[in-house]
Each structure stands twice: as structure tokens, then as C-alpha cells.
Structure 1
């Protein structure tokens, strides 16, 4: 444990939705939901205006629409999210060489490594002033996005603190006060206490962090297992000595898709797995990684989720190898009733590979002549996407269907703009992408 509040956790508020509101003036102050817009879609992020109606991340889009039907449901623009994330992470790395990104929208920062000229001491008053200025700079570099920040003596305390004053807040936990802060909180504030663990603890009369603190190590181990019990015992006492590491070790890389219509064609499923294997292998090579274990994930029509995996003697980053193994794993499963989700993952990662592992040329697999799966059909004018019109200029897709696309013409730099409709094949209308989009993407932990 540190004796100074020098670990900072920054979390961009309602990140995807906030980027959409920033770039679409007509949506500012209104409920926005980003995620899958179809019947089987899932909410990725909801703006705070939508959360008032009970919309939450990981909720089905269908339920979100029933709770907040007047919200703007957008499919998402990852080039914009990556660019905003890149701006923030670049700023944080100018603050300290030790920045540990957790995702596009959150990171830990070790303030003990900050420039002494800007942060001469790590007293509570100094780090508070420093963090306030950092939040202002985040808004400046991103064009108005807000961040919630927590600072404490450990990563655990900093993460808890960043949740206490959302959105657009700052909480600094003075050294020595951590246990007083934690005791009245629900046991679920501790990482790893999900619904199943929480229910086991509840049955034992353990509801709060104070209850965990009052429970002996042996009893906790008996309830949730040795490793988890030891973790609960330590964190309930605010003991967390994990360092901030600039490069997080990836545990796996994966790709998956959910389909509007249940898949029953086996050859089509094999083709989709091949494409996903290509995406995974490309990401592995981009980050200089390889993996030994190939896994497929299959969710059946009745929501039963199945998984199969196989482990190689040596790591690989080959599309051909990953695709072949994924297709082979599919043969073990009965998919005759229909499949709604398919995914491929590679784990057991290493930063080296064994050349010519199978004594064969590892070329890309031949593309299969397949019809597109329902969810992979290219919906050119999905809600929220950026477009440009030869006469009207730039705007975004308000909605589309039956051969018509409706566009609101506005950008982050303009006031709310007019709405116009066009034929979907209008030659004057096209998708818009930045000339130099940020392509960096963190490897999935």
C-alpha cells in the first residue's frame, strides 16, 4: 500500500453516447442509446438522459426501446471513439509515463511519476488541484467530453472513488480513510463479486464490505474458494499493492457476431468462423502476439451458450490455422436448431511463434463463396453514421428504410441542422470517413 493518494483512475462519462452528443448538436441534452439497433441488439452505452428511464449497458435494445422509445438509437462510429480515446490517452501519457489503459474510455495513471514541476508534492490538496486541471484539459482536447476521476492509495480505491461523483466529478480519498469509506458499501463494490458470489455471501449474512471485513479468512475461503476468498479478505481491508503498468498483458483476443435470423446453414457458419478467425489473427499480428488455445463460442436459438477449445503445442498467429481449428471445433456441436451467435477467440498468448508449425504453407484460406449472414449484410446507412451530400454538406443518418435515407445535416461545429430525405441510391449522397482515422485499438484483456 502507498502512503500517498497517487493512483488516479479516469473514466470518460457515458463515452460512446457523449461522443455522439458532442458531434450531433440536435442530440445534446436528449436521451441517446448506442449499440445494436436491431431486434437482437444490445446496448453498449446509454447517455445519462436515457439512464433516467432505466436504460443500461448490456440491456437488450428491445427492452431499451420499451423503456425509452423516444431516445435516439444509434449504431455507433468507432473511428470517432478511437480518435477521442487516442486524444485522452495521449494527454495522460504526457502527465505520467505510467498509464494503464483498461479500455477506450478508462485508464489508471501513476501520479508518483508525474513531472515534479507540475506536481511538486503528493499531498491531498496538490493532487486535487492537479486532477481538476487534468479534467479541464480532457474537455479541451476532446471538444467537451467530461471525465470522472478518483484518486487513492491503490488502484482499487481509485476505481471506487471515480464512481462516487458521476458524471463529471472528482473524489480524492485521503490516506488512512480507505476502510471508513469502504465499510458501508455493498459487497458488490469489490471486483469479482458478481451476482453469483453476492448471492453466496448474502446467504451467509454478508451484505457489506464491513461484513466481509468482519469475516475470517477461512470462512471466506469456504464460501467462495481459496483465491477469491483471499482477495476479498485483502480488498475489504483496502489492501491492494498492484502497480500501474504501462502495457497490460493481454489474456485473449476474440471476435464474435450476433445474428438477426438464426443460422442453420453449416457451410455459412464455417464461412463466418473463417472471417472471424481472420480478424483475430490480424489483431494478433498487429500487436506482435500469438496464441496456443483456439476457442469457439456458439449461442443456440434457445440462448444456451456452448464453447469448445483446442490447444496447440506452440503459439500461432496464422489465419489459416485459427480458421481450420475453429471449423473443426464446430463439427462437435449440434447446431440443427439454429444459432444466434458465433465467436472465435485465441488465448494462451505469447510474443513469439514457431514457424511452419504444421509443415505446410500458412497462406490465407481461400474465400468461400457464401451468401452474407443476416447480421453481416452491409447496411450502408445505419442510424448515426456520418454522411456527406454534394450540395448539403456533412450530416448523419437519422434513419433509413424502403429505399429512402433520412439525414440531419449538422456537425459538432454547427448548430442543429435541417433534415432531408433522399433515395438510397442518390449519387450525391455517400458515407463520410476522416482522411486519417486513428486505427489503434487495445487488445482485449
Structure 2
């Protein structure tokens, strides 16, 4: 298992021509922002999310994780594990603003930044645009600037591909760094539980366990024919991942496919008037996100989840992008009216704008330094 390493360990290592990838992951991002902004929350178990009977944790602080709380856990379960848990409502505009601040730091070191969410991103620092000379040093400088400029901590993984860099960023959390050098990737992956592989969820990990696959080494022992028989189209990815191979590039222009918002109600709603009122709130949330992301789109989709978890959707596409909030709300309400009256009460409602034409600023051209990174 790879340990944190200083940059000297990497400057003399073989492997010229390989890419240098950093994966940065903020530590308990939403909860850390809340603890930063409210000193009374510091050092205490904090959950970001609703505390109602149907509430779900968006994330929680490390103090709460010690009790077994985790993201996506029902709030009632989290409160049972940690009775002193403090719930805080999400403040997405604040998280988004901090995320943009962090991305600005990333872009000081490379134009090749691929955000995965508000709190994590891949960076390709193969071209040493600032002449720093070490990918490990770049990662440390970024982490130090994030802490100095936002008051938050980040963990980083440094390696020669995206798959291993992402695994590595989780290795020494919180506020840590892990570097996996060329030649160490296969051994690093072999010791890793497959449940930590990106794309393998709890159900997938359980299915693998039934087939005798619990670690990367177990997975690497299976040939491609076995993997295709049991995992179909995912087989090629699994075969390469088990060997520490990932050919994907960091894509700075990774397109957003949709912008939306949804809400799970504290109590099922059957009244048409109440549903219209809730829809208006969701229109406001969604349009706020659309404006912040500077997105334009042609398709509006309404999603409902009924009491028995049955899903209903209605969509409308326009020849031109939705022009403003009023038109967006008008389409959303028209879609709802098409579904009323409903056969059952509604537990969740969501609204999405898709077929986007984004107005994001262009990334600057990649400037190659005369001095390439020697290795890490």
C-alpha cells in the first residue's frame, strides 16, 4: 500500500512520457463549510440535510462519521447512531461560491481541470505551466492555498492516471496526500477492496463477493471471459482497473447534461393546490442553479415519485432555449396539470432543464513549459 511520499521520491523515478494526474477531494465539504461559518459547530457531529422522517444526509462531519453516520443515510438512522447529531439545512449557493473559488486555484496551475462535483476534480499537470517541477509539489501547493484562502482542508491523490489518483485521494483522508508512482499502480490496486473502485456500488460489491472477488487481486485473477460472462459491458473497465490501467484523459470541457432540483416531502402530498405550491418552490431552486451555471436549454422535464415509489415523468421540448424563469415555470406547471389528478399521493418532485447550450468561458490554451515535469 502506497504511503505519502515527498517529492524527492519521485523526481528520480522512471516513467517519462506518462501523464501526471491529481485528484483533489474536499474533506466533508458541505459540513466543513458549515463548521467554518459557525464556530459553535466546530468539533461537533454535524449533518447537512433534513432531519424529518424522510430526511437524508447530504454529508456529515468527521465527528459524526465516528458514530457510523455517512452520506445518503436516512436521517432517522443517523440520529439513532448519534443522538447528539446537529442537523443543518444545505446552503447550496454558499457551497457553489466556495467551489468556484477552489477551481480558480486549480486553474492557476493547469487549464486541464475536470470537475466531478462541487467538491472534487481531476487536474492534469503533465505540462508544468508554472515550472514547479513536481506533481506532488503542485498538489501540496494547491492544498495549502485552499486552506489559506478558504479555511477548508482537501485531500489529494497523485498518480499517472485518473483511476488510481481518485483511489489515492481517499487513502489518507482527511487533510492528507497519497502518491502512487508508475510501477506501483498494480500493487496499490491489488490490495484495495473492490468496493472502493469507482463505479462499484454496495450491490455490485456484494455480487462480486459472492463470486469470490473482494480485492483488486481477486479481480485481476479473473480472465476477461469470466468478467464478460458476469459483468457484461463493464467487464473491460474492470479488467483494466484491476491492473491499474486507465486511458481516460482529463477533459476540461466535460459537458453538463442537465440542471435540476428535486425535493422529497416530509409528508406525502395529494392535493393539487399543495403540489402547485411545491412546484413553484422547485422552479425557484432550479432556475437559481440555471442562472449560476449560465446554462440555456430546450427541454423541461417534471419528475414525480408516488407513495409506492412509482415514477412518473413528463417532458416538453422547445425549438429554442427557454427564455426566462416565467416561461420555465409555465412549462413546469403545464406538465403537472397533464398528470393531475394523480392515482396516489406524491413523495418527491423534481424539475430539470436539459438539451443544454452552456455559456461557460473558454479554458485558456494549454501552455507547455520548456521544463516538463521530471516525474512526480
Partner of 2:68: 54
- 1:158 is aligned to 165
Q: Is the 8 A contact 1:36 1:61 kept in 2?
A: yes
Question: Which has the larger helix fraction?
Answer: 2
Contact 1:16 1:34 in 2 (8 A): yes
Residues 11, 147 of structure 1: 8 Å contact kept: yes
SS of corresponding position for 2:212: coil
Q: Deviations over 1:290-342 (max 9, x none)?
A: 244x543323334x1413354748564351674256325634xx744422211
Contact 1:146 1:167 in 2 (8 A): yes
2:193 pairs with 186, 189, 213, which one? 186
Which residue does 1:135 correspond to in 2? 143
Distance 1:2 1:81 in 2: 38
Shift in CA distance, 82/313, structure 1 to aligned 2, threshold 3 Å: closer
In the comparison of the two structures, how many residue pairs are matched? 341
Alignment of 1:124-273 (within 5 A): 126-143=134-151, 145-226=152-233, 228-273=234-279
- For residue 326 of structure 1, the aligned residue among 320, 335, 341 is 335
Give the superposition deviation at 1:104: 1.6
Structure 1 residues 267, 203: CA separation in 2 closer, same or farther (over 3 Å shift)? same
Q: Which runs of 5+ in 2 are unaligned?
A: 1-14, 362-376
Q: How much does 1:151 deviate?
A: 0.7
CA distance 1:213–1:317, shift in 2 (3 Å): farther
Deviations 1:223-278 (A, max 9, x none): 1222x122212222222122212232112222111112210112432453455356
Task: Tell me the equivalent position of 1:317.
Answer: 322
Q: Aligned-pair distance for 1:127?
A: 2.5
Report the structure number with the largest CA radius of gyration. Answer: 1
Displacement of 1:2:
8.4
Q: Deviations over 1:175-234 (max 9, x none)?
A: 1211110012222222221233333323322222222222222322221222x1222122
Inter-partner Cα distance in structure 1 for 2:146 and 2:318: 46
Tell me what 2:3 maps to: none
Counterpart secondary structure, 1:45: strand
- When normalised by structure 2's length, the TM-score is 0.81
CA shift digits 1:7-33 (9 cap, x unpaired): 101111111111222222232222111
1:113 is matched with which residue: 111, 117, 127?
127
RMSD: 2.8
What secondary structure sits across from 1:233 in the alignment?
helix
Moved more, 194-203 or 46-55: 194-203
The TM-score, its normalising length taken from structure 1, stands at: 0.69
- What residue is the counterpart of 2:348 in the other structure? 341
Asked whether the 8 Å contact 1:185–1:208 carries over to 2, the reply is yes
SS at match of 1:87: helix
Q: What corresponds to 1:30 in structure 2?
A: 44
Q: Any residues of structure 2 matched to 1:268-279 within 5 Å, and which?
A: 268-273=274-279, 276-277=282-283, 279=285
308-317 vs 155-164, which moves further: 308-317
User: How far 1:165 sits from its partner (Å)?
Assistant: 0.2
Query: Does residue 104 in structure 1 map to residue 118 in structure 2?
Result: yes
Given candidates 302, 307, 311, the residue that maps to 1:306 is 311
Alignment partner of 1:6 out of 15, 20, 44: 20
CA contact (8 A) 2:283 2:351 kept: yes
Q: What residue ranges of structure 1 are gaps of 5+ in the alignment?
A: 121-125, 353-439, 441-445
